[in-house]
Chains A and B, each alone.
Chain A
Amino acid sequence: MVLISLVREYIGRMLQDISGMKVLILDSETVNIVSVAYSQSELLQKEVFLVELVDSMSKESMVHMKTIYFLRPTSENIQNLRHHLANPRFGEYHLFFSNALKASQIQVLADADEHEVVQQVQEFFADFCAIDPFHFTLNLHINHMYMLPAVVDPPSSQSFCDRIVDGIAAVFLALKRRPVIRYQRTSDVAKRIAQETAKLMYEQESGLFDFRRTETSPLLLVIDRRDDPVTPLLTQWTYQAMVHELIGINDNKVDLRNIGIGTVPQEQQEVVLSSEQDTFFKANIYENFGDLGMNIKKMVDDFQQIAKSNQNIQTIDDMAKFVNNYPEYRKMHGNVSKHVTMVTEMSKIVEERKLMLVSQTEQDLACNGGQVAAYEAVNNLLNIESVSDVDCLRLVMLYALRYEKEGPVQLMQLFNKLASRSAKYKSGLVQFLLKQAGIDKRTGDLYGNRDLLNIARNMARGLKGVENVYTQHQPLLFQSMENIIKGRLRDIDYPFIGNHFQQGRPQEVVVFIVGGTTYEEARIVALHNTANSGTRFMLGGSVVLNSKRFLKDLEEAQKIARSSNAF
């Protein structure tokens, strides 16, 4: 079963056994978990007539209603709940937690429940945001923590790791599996998370994870974003990834007010992009921009056909037909205008920022060799006024990651040029990136030039030519997935935790990227799963990155690292 249906089933089970009018109380995280998987109209069907946040100050008494709490077991939530139970507003209390409760937390709640209003206390492990069938995120606000050594800020670092361990554990509980665990050797944070997850699954809660064994154990691979810093820096050209890169997707919602355009009609300012509810989006989620444009045009044509027949209402006959088709028509109208708005706005941005030009160089930097030509290209782009500062920064970063060792002089020149162009982005940020994710820190063969086979493959690709220059990049994850399927993932680079080893080819693999996933990676995972090779992958991360978020985290980490060095 895939991630969204798992969460949906948890929610369904929470609601179905409790009859009568219900209030659902969520916290700031579970509201997202529930929102991406369930809709308001579905809640109404289940007689949930009010949804509230646990920290809302509402005092209105509604003793005729039953309340369902679905909360993460955090100490703030327990405190809030304690107050709620001491002064009950509702008739019955059904408590559901998204993860394992500590015995002490249960005690605190039982102590507060003097009126004995609590009917049940359950753990339902929907502790991850299932944004797509094979892609989940944890929406961690303090995502930059992955770049900092634990000693800099031990409490934050601990809560960062705890949340990830909770999220991963919940995914496997939902799947009813206990995996073997591997991690990327060069990353301390990946190692720590892998170890803590193993401790939880095999020691602390071994009873909870004691599921019926499958023939081959599933695999959990914990890797670090810094092993592939290239993917989040690239301009994207497939629908979902592109929307996130240019406008921003937040739990399947797109806020078009983000890009500050006044032309967007009122009802389209905030839209939902969910592959579960929108068939056009589902069909085009991984299409590249060119094909998407064609498909949108076709959709608009179809729609115009219908609209025309609707306009042409002369007989009562037409009218009756119109009335009958109206709901469908209205729905289609909303959807068409949503996608048209989106694509129009994106084309504007592409045009404005000269992204076609920029992206070509980016792809060259990421996929093809040729340092001299690359330097020329980047240098030229830095001279163009209309190329935005952030795009220049991305270009220099991509150049630096690729030719870190080969051309220190040219790199310095680019640094200086960047610094003179923009006061905002000091070249220190590029150096910080190299310190974080430079060649010495990376495990994987990011540019495919360590392995003879890959070199040969790249050469062959260069000879054949590529179909689309803008989408030739394959994330490092693609190679890792191939290695997993073929059993070639090297033990030295990706060691196992404890003495649980992989036997045979795993059928289920969860790859967790500490520091965040990208929609480009989610795409290759989804495409792989549709091709159905026998191994099913799921991808999860602490956030879903676009270049903006990646750079923001980098800046944040740099700031903290600087100030901690000062002491």
Chain B
Amino acid sequence: MATRNRTPIYRKYRDALRNVRLPDSSLPSSSSAGGGGRSGGPVIEMVNASFLRQDRSYVPLSTEDPSNAYKAKHPKSNISSTCRRNGALTFGLPPAWVDISEEISVSMQSARTKISQLVKAHAKALMPSFGDGRDDEHMIEILTQEITDLLKKSERRLHKLSTNDPSEDSTVRKNVQRSLATDLQKLSMDLRKHQSSYLKRLRQQKEGSDNVDLEMNLNGGSRSRIEDEDFDDVIVNALMTFSSSHLLPFGSYGRELVVESVNDLAQIMKDLSVLVIDQGTIIDRIDYNVQNVATSVEDGYKQLQKSSDFLINYSRLKILWVLRPSSAKFRHLVNILAVVTQVLWIGRP
């Protein structure tokens, strides 16, 4: 894979030509066309964009000096700012929506950090100890809620990226939205995975001592043991136990609620697949996307509507959150509920 760098020779020509040109003949002093109206300022690098990279583990702002982290990740930024000596072109301020995408990236980043803390907390909680492990459980509970909140917050902001005017900027926004949604989805899946393995191990630990019957079936008929390794069974069964014992005062309403939220889940999975590009299809072709700029903007609008539909569905599930049980026994059920919320939450484009 040979490559050839022609930059030095290009620079040489350019420098030579600069000397030939009259000092300020053709250099427009404010060539920062449309650059947010802030001309003449120093070069502004795109800080925000670096957050968007999912494969790059960004150092969180809260724990380390951001400027160092930034410099470490972007050794080129200084070079690029100095090589424009005459300051002819400033790097314009990005449009306002970039701030939103930046905020989303930041909260996703801190969610990522918290997930790793959660993983540690999980490990700790699973260690045999003489205490009742309440602190650990409390910690897990708090973390889970924080992460959920962060993800929810990012998700809500994601909607603000949608736009309906047919411009290139809207294509960019739409693509940023897609990319963030994919990252967000990955993050939630991560969380889900960690929680499922935690719950599984927790169950294995408790199996001998604690003989709480978690088996329940929706129809009350055929009983299925939750022993099979499928986590979804665990969620569902737990949900049902939860609903039957804790929502009992609400009667059948509670049970309906659960059924409905799972119904919503299915719907959401469908909605989700609209936003995240199916690999190997024509929509995932670059040439198709070049040709279809106009249509994709239209799609974006449709998705916006879809997502607002979902907000209504989502509020239903919140009820489950309000009904958080206080008994320690059901603490991990709360975690499970958080997982369900995750699943629901991903779906919102």
A interface residues, Cβ below 8 angstroms from B: 1, 6, 9-10, 13, 17, 19-21, 23, 26, 31-32, 34-35, 38-41, 43-45, 47, 49-53, 58, 60-66, 88-89, 91-92, 100-101, 103, 106-107, 109-111, 113-125, 173-174, 176, 208, 211, 251, 253, 270-272, 274, 277-278, 314-317, 319-324, 326-327, 330-331, 334-335
Contact = CB atoms under 8 A, between A and B. Distances in A.
9 contacts: A35-B288, A44-B178, A47-B53, A50-B168, A62-B172, A64-B91, A106-B6, A122-B7, A320-B235
Contacts of B168: 50, 52, 58, 60, 62
Nearest to B240: A316
Interface stretch (B110-118, B136-144, B150-158, B266-274): B266-274
A207 to B, nearest CB: 9
B280 A20 contact: no
Contacts of B235: 320
Contact of A123 (B3, B171, B285): B3
| A-B complex: 6 closest residue pairs judged by Cβ atoms | A63-B92, A64-B94, A20-B49, A110-B13, A277-B280, A320-B232
Given A10-B1, A34-B286, A110-B17, 17 more contacts: A19-B50, A41-B279, A50-B175, A65-B46, A115-B89, A119-B83, A123-B3, A123-B5, A123-B6, A125-B3, A174-B2, A253-B285, A277-B279, A314-B219, A320-B232, A327-B269, A327-B272
Contacts of A278: 280
Contacts of B298: none
B74 A122 contact: no
B248 interface: no
Highest count of chain B CB atoms <10 Å: which of A19, A58, A107? A19
Nearest to B27: A114
A467 to B, nearest CB: 33
B14 interface: yes
Nearest to A114: B26
Contacts of B217: 315, 317
Interface stretch (B29-37, B123-131, B205-213, B317-325): B29-37
Interface stretch (B59-67, B255-263, B304-312, B327-335): B255-263
B245 interface: no
B201 interface: no
A115 B33 CA distance: 12
Nearest to A111: B17
Contacts of B85: 116
Contact of A20 (B4, B6, B50): B50
B100 interface: no
B242 to A, nearest CB: 12
Given A60-B167, A64-B95, A323-B343, A40 B285 contact: yes
Nearest to B287: A35
B32 A319 contact: no
Given A58-B168, A88-B89, A100 B4 contact: yes
A118 B240 CA distance: 62
B2 A63 contact: no
B302 interface: no
A49 B175 contact: yes
Contacts of B54: 45
B204 interface: no
B291 to A, nearest CB: 9
A50 B171 contact: yes
> Which of B3, B50, B230, B240 has the most chain A CB atoms closer than 10 A to its own CB?
B3
Contacts of A9: 1
B19 interface: no
Nearest to B95: A64
Contact of A101 (B6, B27, B84, B219): B6
Given A39-B286, A316-B236, A122 B4 contact: yes
A1 B168 CA distance: 37
- Interface of A, helix, strand, loop or mixed by DSSP: mixed
Q: Which of A17, A45, A122, A317 has the most CB of B within 10 A?
A: A317
B232 A324 contact: yes
A106 B224 contact: no
A408 B49 CA distance: 73
Given A38-B286, A316-B218, A113 B280 contact: no
B14 A116 contact: yes
A317 B217 CA distance: 8
A397 to B, nearest CB: 34
Given A114-B26, A316-B236, A330 B262 contact: no
B219 A315 contact: yes
Interface in B93-110: 93-95, 98
Contacts of B13: 106-107, 110-111
A44 B182 contact: yes
Contacts of A49: 171-172, 175-176, 179
Nearest to B185: A327
B285 A272 contact: yes
Contacts of A335: 280
Contacts of A109: 10
B4 A208 contact: yes
A44 B1 contact: no
Interface in B72-86: 73-74, 76-77, 80, 83-86
B135 to A, nearest CB: 32
A40 B84 contact: no
B237 to A, nearest CB: 8
Of B4, B172, B258, which is in contact with the most chain A CB atoms at under 10 Å from its CB?
B4
Given A19-B49, A21-B49, A39-B285, A63 B280 contact: no
A91 B46 contact: yes
Contacts of A38: 286
B91 A63 contact: yes
Contacts of A270: 282, 288
A110 B10 contact: yes
A101 B46 CA distance: 30
B273 A326 contact: yes
B52 interface: yes
Given A110-B17, A271-B282, A63 B265 contact: no
A26 B266 contact: no
B67 to A, nearest CB: 16
Contacts of A251: 287
Nearest to B255: A316
A117 B89 contact: yes
B187 to A, nearest CB: 14
Given A50-B168, A63-B91, A122-B3, A110 B14 contact: yes
Contacts of B282: 253, 270-272
Contacts of A316: 218, 236, 239-240, 258-259, 262
A35 B285 CA distance: 6
B202 interface: no
A113 B7 CA distance: 13
Given A60-B167, A63-B32, A334-B278, A121 B6 contact: yes
A319 B262 contact: yes
Contacts of B285: 35, 39-40, 253, 272
Contacts of B279: 39, 41, 277, 331
B326 interface: no
Nearest to A22: B49
B119 interface: no
Contact of A122 (B6, B52, B233): B6
Contacts of A20: 45-46, 49-50
A64 B262 contact: no
B281 interface: yes
A56 to B, nearest CB: 9
Contacts of B276: 41
Contact of B287 (A19, A32, A110): A32
B284 interface: yes
A315 B182 contact: no
A51 B286 contact: yes
